[in-house]
Each structure stands twice: as structure tokens, then as C-alpha cells.
Amino acid sequence: MLKFTMALALCTVAALVSAEPVTDVLRASMKDKNQATLARVEQDDVQRFCSKPRSEPGDLDTMNAIRAKSMAAVKHPADGKYLGDWQAGAEVANNGRGLQYSDDPSAPNGGNCYACHQLDPREVAYGTIGPSLTNYGLRGQSDVVLKYTWTKMWDTHAYNTCSHMPRFGAQGILTEQQLKDVMAYLLDPASPVNQPIEADN
Amino acid sequence: MAGRIRIRAQQQGDHTEVKALMRHPMETGQRKDQAGQAIPAHFIEEVTMTHNGNVVMHAYWGAAVSANPFLGVQFAGGAAGDEVVVTWRDNKGETGEGSTQIR
Amino acid sequence: MRNAIIVGISLLGAVMLVATSAAQDGIFDEYREMMGDDNPAIFVIDEGEEYWYTPAGPNDVSLEACDLGLGAGVVEGAYARFPRYFEDADRVMDLEARLEYCMVTLQGRTPEEIHAKPYSLRGDLGTEMEALSAWLADQSAGVPVVSSQDHPKEREMYALGEQLFYYRAGPHDFSCATCHGQANMRIRLQALANLSGHDGAAEAYTTWPAYRISEGVVRTMGWRMRDCFRQQRLPELIMGSPASVALQTYLAVNASGAEIAAPGLKR
């Protein structure tokens, strides 16, 4: 199998022209490993359109079509309840595992929110790829806020086409319950995300 | 591959600064390999540093010291050309040694 | 009013606390200074030199005759000129691809054997590929990176590398650019270099291979890319593959002129 892959790799390079589909090169340059199979190298519409520098807007019509499609496909909770348990949500936010070939496929996936965002102000180990979500709960819990926040996590492209935030719902990264728990972590007034750091005296 | 130590000793006025880099896996005995088997404990237990034959530092180490340990020591005195020797012994009885002259 | 001031001051304190911890890299710089130019990689460099001069494989021959681009057996300054086109193989190669080529053609070894375990796993003390990379990088220490774009295949590799850099895929829709496409971003407390520009590419490309303190082994650039793809939820990158060569070409060309400072020392 490896000889075949190597031969394929060499043939691919020999036949390479600048119009060579990138996907073909990746297929020839990678091999299945545990749960991470070559199927993951295939792109869907969103990925294909968004494979560009952040500064490039891309074709406006395509962008709008993707945005509309993402919005239409959002699955809101069947029972109409958006908020779960913020303590469980904190664990999801801190957990960076899930779907890597080094991960146990039977273990729950994490959201890894802290990789990119600030949340609980007491947590200093936070990333800056996304905006700070500290005090997110100040927005309240109106219908609009609940739906917006849910949609953002389910499929960010419904609002921010080509954002680099993963599609936690649409791609099946987090379960409905996990998403509800993260919603609570963001919106529950009792959540540490919404508790300012105590003044020392 | 036992016992490699790279040492540098520099005179700094009234004291000497020694830096030693040791090659050792410093296994705690807690880690597991790819097959899930515990990797046996293998770490340096004792380190001695001498200056012209006199012991200037004697230390007991344990599994908490990380792999390929880096040791920095200052001792009073020392002149250019003096010999500094560092030796270690690990929990398996293996030893390592390195020496240098103070610059 | 007083409560507002207290809250204001505590929020400021929180901001300052955060700002200090954002200087996490500063703490590591202190550690680096303490070590001076001592780096456990020095032991691995010696091992790499040994591998180069030791006969191996069915042909029982060393790698001394391997041409890394500057002539058979010329190792000084060779690493700084990777990736590059090699006429005998008729392809652009990164260091690991070229080493494999020499192992196969000179020593008679098989690709399967070379690809079986090129990188250390948990509990390992270093591999041949890691040691050779460390030694060859050291042979280019201080030499400016010059990855040729003279040959059309070299230019194709750059273009391909750039496309791969922005290629979004996998369940998380990550591309290299997700983390490395902008300046001044970090994941948790790990600063991220902007690899699409000269400064970031220079900082990153010139310091790999590197001794990784958390792992106690030298890691190569090929390993670093494989591990990025793992974290992107994609499959395993084959060492020396077209994608690996293309991405390294993209980095090396972006880093043009910066001096090799490898093997580096990383967390």
C-alpha cells in the first residue's frame, strides 16, 4: 500500500501543472490514520469558497448563497430549550480533544473555546484568534440573543461567511446537549464568564 | 550512550559559574509507551561536582527533574585552568562524567 | 460611585494580569538566556554526524556520497538551500525527501523501512531522521535561507504551497491560515507566527528542526507539519510528500534571506 502511495506521489508530482487540483495532491500526500481518513480531505462548498486569505472577500453572490444555505440548515433544539448547565459547558470550553487521529473516538469531543477566545476572566490561558466573550451574558436572554448565539455556534457562516470558527453543530463536532451547556456557560448570569473578578481589599 | 555531559566553567571575579548539560532520559516510571506499557523508571539519583578534586556541590535528584537535565551552579573561588568535574549516578547504577577547565 | 471605582480598579488589575501572562514568551526567553547557547540538541547533532558516516542498508554504504544540492558529500550550508529541484530525481525535494532518496539509492534501503517510523513516539530517545536533520541544520547555522525559484517546478511548488496554506478542510474547516494567516494571534498562550509574511515565516522556518523540551527529542519541520495536520483533524502527512515539499517551499521562500538558527530550542 505504501509503495503504491509513494509511486502515486511521484507520478503526481511528475504530472504536476499549475492547474493541478490541490485536493489530488493532498490525497497523494496523506494516508488514513485511525478516524482521520482521506475522506476528510474532500471539500464542501463552504470550505472550497473559503480557501482564501482573510483579506479576500470572494465573489459576493456565492458568499450570499452560502450564507443563506447555512442559515436555512440550522437545527434549533427540538424542545425549544436553549440553556443547559454552565458547569458542563465550562468543561466543553476547556476540552481541546476530539476528532484527531490521536483521540479516542468513543470519548466526547470538546469545543476548545479557550483556544481562540477569552471567556471566564479568571482564566489567563486564552487565545486571541476570536473576540473576547467575557461578560457575554450582558446581552440577556431574549429570543433574539438565544437564536443568534445558537446559530453562531451551529454554523458561523450563517452570519460570518468564511469565519475560521468551526461549525460545531453543522459538522457534528458537539452534541445538542453540549451546545446547550456552552450556551449556559455564555449566558447564565451565574456562569463565571459573567462574574467580574472580585476586588481584593 | 551512557554518561555524556557537556560542561562549561567560567571565572566570574570571586566565583566560578558552571553550566552542565547531561544526556539522560530521566524516566519517572509513570509514562506509558505506545503499547500502553509503563516505561521503567530511569533517572539520575546523585550528582557531584568537584573543583581541583574538592567537592563543591553534591545533590540528590529524583524523577521530578526533566529529561536531559541542565545544571547551573556557582561556587566561590576558582581560577582559570582549574579542573571542574561533574559526575552522576542513576537508579540503575549507571554513571556519567564530564570535565572541563575553568576559563 | 466608590463601588464603581473598586470594580474599575479590579477590572484594570485583571487586564494587567492578562497582559503579563500574554508575555508568557518573555518567561521562556529568560529560560533560553539561562541556557545560553546550550541546547540538548547538541547531543543529537553528534548522533546525526555518526549516522551520516556509518555504513547501513543492504549496500553497506554510508551517506557520505549523498548530494544535498552543493555536490556529493557537501554538507556545510546545504540545508539552507532547501527545498530545491534535483535533476537526478526530477523533482523538488525537502530535506527529508532528499535523505530518503539517498538512503534508497545509495544504501539500498526501502521506502517502507524509512517511512515505518521516521519520528520519535512517546518514550523514544530520537530517530535517525531527527538526528540527521539536527546535524545538517547545524551545518547551516548562520547561513541565509535561499530556496531557489529558478526552476519551473520550484515555482509550481511555491504556488501549490500557497494554495495548500489556505486550503480549508476536515470537520473543523481548518487551514494553515486559520492559525498562521495573521499577525499577533495566539492559541491559548502559544504565540502564532504569521507564515504568509516574511517576518513570521523567517521566525518559524529558521528555527526548525528544534529540540522540544516537552518531548525531550529533536523534532523536524516535516514532523511539525504532520502534527499541524493532526491538530487540524486531517489524516497523516507522508514524509517528503508533494504537500510537505510544497508547504516547506512556501515557508522557505517567504523566509528568504533569514539566517538558519537551527536546531532551535522550543517548549
What is the spatial distance between Cα B102 and Cα B75, in angstroms, rounded to a whole number?
A: 12
Q: What is the pLDDT of residues C137-152, one digit of tens each?
A: 999 999 999 999 999 9
Query: What CATH number is given to the structural domain containing B12?
Result: 2.60.40.10
Cis peptide before C58 (omega within 30 of 0): no
What count of other Cβ atoms lies within 10 Å of the Cβ of residue C186?
19
CB contact under 8 A, A30 and C112: no
- Categorize the per-residue pLDDT at A6 as very low, low, confident or very high, splitting at 50, 70 and 90: low
- pLDDT exceeds 70 at position C173: yes
pLDDT of residue A2: 55
Higher pLDDT, A22 or C33: A22
Provide the ipTM.
0.89
pLDDT of residue A3: 54
Roughly what angle, to the nearest 10 degrees, separates helices A176-187 and A143-154? 130
Please check whether residue C67 touches A, CB under 8 A.
no
Report the pLDDT averaged over residues C96-109: 98
d(CA C84, CA C29): 33
Option in C7, C170, C181 nearest A53 (CB): C181
Q: pLDDT tens digits for A113-125? A: 999 999 999 999 9
Mean pLDDT along residues C70-92: 98
Q: Are strands C264-266 and C210-212 parallel, antiparallel or unpaired?
A: parallel
Cell (9 digits) for C244: 510537505
Does residue B99 carry a pLDDT above 60?
A: yes
Question: Which of B50-64, C10-24, C41-55, C88-102 has the weakest average pLDDT?
Answer: C10-24
Stretch B32-52: mean pLDDT: 91
Q: Which chains touch A (3 or more CB pairs under 8 A)?
A: C
Q: So what's the pLDDT on residue A113? A: 98
- A-contacting residues of C 188-247, CB under 8 Å? 188-189, 192, 196, 229-231, 233-238, 241-246
Q: Which of C18, C174, C238 sits opposite A31 (nearest CB)?
A: C238
Q: What is the DSSP letter of A135?
A: T
The domain total for chain B is 1
Higher pLDDT, C206 or A15: C206
pLDDT digit string, tens, across residues A21-49: 899 999 999 999 999 999 999 999 999 99
Instruction: For chain B, give the mean pLDDT.
Output: 91
The residue ranges of every structural domain in chain C are 37-266
Please tell me which residue of chain C has the smallest CA distance to B25.
Answer: C125
Interface with C, mutate which of A2, A12, A13 (most C CBs under 10 A): A13
Residue among C10, C174, C236 whose CB faces A31 most closely: C236
pLDDT at A106: 96
Tell me the domain boundaries of chain A. 32-201
Nearest CA in chain C to B69: C40
**Is residue B35 situated within a structural domain?**
no
pLDDT at A20 over 70: no
In a domain, B56, yes or no: yes
pLDDT (mean) for C226-237 = 98
In-domain check, residue B33 = no
In angstroms, the separation between the Cα of residue B55 and the nearest Cα of chain C is 24
Average pLDDT of span C15-36: 59
Percent of chain A with pLDDT over 90: 87
Q: What is the DSSP letter of A126?
A: -
- Residue B65 CB-half CA count within 13 A: 21
Look up the CATH number of domain A32-201: 1.10.760.10
**C37-266: which CATH architecture?**
Orthogonal Bundle (1.10)
For residues C194-219, average pLDDT = 95
In a domain, B63, yes or no: yes
Question: Quick check: A134 pLDDT over 80?
Answer: yes
Share of chain A above pLDDT 70, in %: 89
Give residue A14's pLDDT. Answer: 40
What distances in angstroms separate CA C10 from CA A121, A124, A199, C14, C17, one per listed residue? Answer: 11, 15, 5, 6, 10
The pLDDT assigned to C10 comes to: 39
Residue C94: the pLDDT is 98
Mind telling me the catalytic residues of C? Answer: 228
Contact B68 C42 (CB under 8 A): no
Per the domain annotation, does B52 fall within a domain? yes
Report d(CA B52, CA B66) in Å as an integer. Answer: 29
Q: What is d(CA C110, CA B36) in angstroms, rounded to the nearest whole number? A: 29
Distance CA C237, CA A51 (A): 19
DSSP string, C214-249: TTTEEE-HHHHHHHHHHHTT--EEPTT-HHHHHHHH
Q: Which domain holds residue B22?
A: 1-28+40-77
pLDDT(C43) > 90: no
Cα R_g (chain C), whole angstroms: 21
Residues 99 through 138 of chain C touching chain A, CB cutoff 8 Å: 111-112, 115
